[in-house]
Chain A
Amino acid sequence: MEILSALPVQLLHGLVYGMLLFLVASGLTLIFGMMGVLNFAHGTLYMLGAYFSFTLLQVTENFWLSLLLAPILVGGIGILIERFLLRKIHTYGHAHQLLLTFGVAFIIEEMVKWIWGNEPLFVKIPAVLSGSVHFFGISYPTYRLFILATSLVVFAILFTILFKTRAGIIVLAAVSNRDMVNALGINVPLVFTALFGVGAALAGLAGVIGGPYLITNPGMAATIIVDLFVVIVAGGLGSIQGALLASFLVGELQSLGVLFIPELAIVFEFLLMAVILIIKPEGLLGEKG
């Protein structure tokens, strides 16, 4: 069976895409899942990460430096968006946030086309990561395994910070009762701005890593944004473990869908989301309430 021999590699493809999706979604879990800010521009921030890294690579010719600097730049832009735009409307509902971030996304996407052009850009990856790894009779690109490793490291760090440190406790408390934590003498608006910055920086990091894999192009924000919201909602709002699980499922569903029923591959993730929302509206690992 030809299809079955392709299965292990296809499963691995699904895992890699799923984990990259998680890397982008982890930032949105903080911003949308926890803070409740419906940030449509999250995909755009991820795209910015990819483009910044392209230019940084041209200037510094050092992938690792761009891996450090691009997320910081994107995080800075995130902080500006939160501080000067979103904070002003935080008492309104989701529709306001959605339209505002639509506007931000329109502007950034148009600027990206203006500065870097409409053509896809190819980003060189460092020599260490450009080969292949052989295991169990499979030969697999090292770079994709690097994506996998980075996402798992980010998950571990986020999980530890959120649940094991004082900073994490403050964030969780501020999310669950903003006024009370504010009254206890913690500068909650500052916490939220910082959280938004971290979320944006994670999107930027995902962009740097995803750019060489999914090809840096002006449409990359639009292609990922729907997957992102599927992951966040199917996983359960604000649950970082849920986002990991849902990312894995969406990645594998797309990958296996392409292998077995290519005509309907695009529907599977929505089928997954619909089933989850109908049976368990709070999401896979979401809490009731």
Chain B
Amino acid sequence: MNRKILYQLIVLIVLVILVFMPNLISEYKLNLIIRMAIYALFAVSYNILFGQAGLLSFGHAAYFGMGAYTTLFLFKHVKMPLILGILSGGILGGLLGLVFGIFVVRLGGVSFGLLTLAFNQFIYAIAEKWRPVTGGEDGLTASRPDMYIPGIGEVEMFSTVHWYYFVLITVLISIFGCWYFTKTPLGRLNLCMRENEERTRFIGYNTYLSRLIIYVLSTFFAGIAGALASSFQEFVSTSFINLDKSAEVLMMTFIGGGGTFVGPILGACFLIYINDLLSTLTERWAVIQGAIFILLVLYAPRGLSGLAEPLTKILDKTGEVQRA
């Protein structure tokens, strides 16, 4: 079978399952799926830097948190409509990415990582200390507004099923945007700069500006993910912005495999599922989680999606035989 057709078939099957998901599982599980979808988008946005640009960031939670706070603040104080609120979260995330990106994209390697970490801590400190706006350690609470669709009217968003479809559509559009980006000239340039930035510069590309645009794009989608996450929990606190959150998205992306586009999605689903499962099974789940990390690094260094590689090779070979 041709590899491309197989992939399209898999995507189609997954989409069909996702559409009928609310009929198939309990509300508790549906909430878990919503979480997976939101974090899948967060991880995909992170992988634009991690896998595609080869930049190890320790501060992606800053943009996730920026989106999360912005959206909830707007819902609470301005009574902003749903879609506009989520979009504002993404835009503010991207703007913050622009401001920080001016400094960080000049650097590579460990310096890049540590400067992103420093900026993450700034944002964290602001979220903790700017009480009138952020609520300090108590955080912000606001319920998500209903959505107005022209021709249909108000759709209430309190119900988990309605909210599930809203998140699903938003995440799918965003992930499609990220996927489409990898096919654009700039997306290709991103890979090119990862392989050899010096040569890319010599060919005549402005690598600084290109990296900056890519950074803003990645932080925009991180902001959207954050906006969805705070609207989902109807609550935002400093835990959305701390270093644990930055580490979490790194783990998700790495575990799934940064070398492929679907890797981070798999990683996000896997980590959320495992955490949910282990925390119900045993109190000492951190030991098992640690052991899983070690085993994955040792035996699946390219992530879960790397494990599937031998399979795709077989597929390619049979494809060749058919063509011959």
Contact = CB atoms under 8 A, between A and B. Distances in A.
Q: A and B from one assembly? A: yes
Interface of A: 38, 85, 88-89, 92-96, 98-100, 102-107, 109-111, 114, 226, 229-230, 233, 237, 263-264, 266-267, 270-271, 273-274, 277-278, 281-282
Contacts of A107: 286-287, 290-291, 294
A267 to B, nearest CB: 5
A282 B119 CA distance: 18
A85 B294 contact: yes
Contact of A226 (B106, B121, B292): B121
Interface of B (DSSP majority class): helix
Interface stretch (B110-118, B139-147, B307-315): B110-118
Interface string B168-190: 00000000000000000000000
Q: Which of A89, A233, A274 has the most CB of B within 10 A?
A: A274
Interface string B228-248: 000000000000000100010
A94 B294 CA distance: 14
B50 interface: yes
Q: Which 8 A-B pairs have the closest CB atoms?
A: A106-B290, A103-B293, A107-B290, A103-B294, A270-B118, A103-B290, A110-B286, A270-B121
Given A99-B254, A102-B251, A110-B287, A229 B117 contact: yes
B114 A94 contact: no
Contact of B114 (A89, A95, A106, A277): A277
A233 B110 contact: yes
A111 B284 CA distance: 9
A184 B289 CA distance: 42
A226 B117 contact: yes
Contact of A85 (B111, B113, B117, B298): B298
Contacts of B103: 274, 278
15 contacts: A88-B298, A89-B297, A94-B56, A94-B113, A95-B258, A96-B297, A107-B290, A107-B291, A111-B287, A226-B243, A263-B129, A264-B129, A271-B118, A277-B114, A281-B106
A267 B56 CA distance: 22
B118 A89 contact: no
A282 B108 CA distance: 11
Contacts of A281: 106-107, 111
B222 interface: no
A230 B254 CA distance: 24
Interface of A (DSSP majority class): helix
A95 B115 contact: no
Contact of A106 (B117, B255, B293, B297): B293
Q: Which of A95, A110, A264, A278 has the most CB of B within 10 A?
A: A95
Nearest to B255: A99
B125 interface: yes
B250 interface: yes
B122 interface: yes
A35 to B, nearest CB: 13
A281 B108 CA distance: 10
B293 A102 contact: yes
Nearest to A91: B301
B287 A89 contact: no
Contacts of B286: 106-107, 109-110
B293 A99 contact: yes
B115 A278 contact: yes
Contacts of B254: 95-96, 99
A264 B121 CA distance: 11
Q: Which of B118, B119, B125, B250 has the most CB of A within 10 A?
A: B118
B122 A106 contact: no
Given A263-B129, A277-B107, A104 B56 contact: no
B129 A110 contact: no
A94 B111 CA distance: 12
Nearest to A233: B114
Contacts of B117: 226, 229, 270
Contacts of B255: 99
Contacts of A85: 294, 298
Contact of A89 (B110, B113, B119, B298): B298
Nearest to A32: B110
Contact of A277 (B118, B122, B289, B301): B118
A98 B251 CA distance: 9
A105 B290 CA distance: 8
Contacts of A102: 247, 251, 290, 293
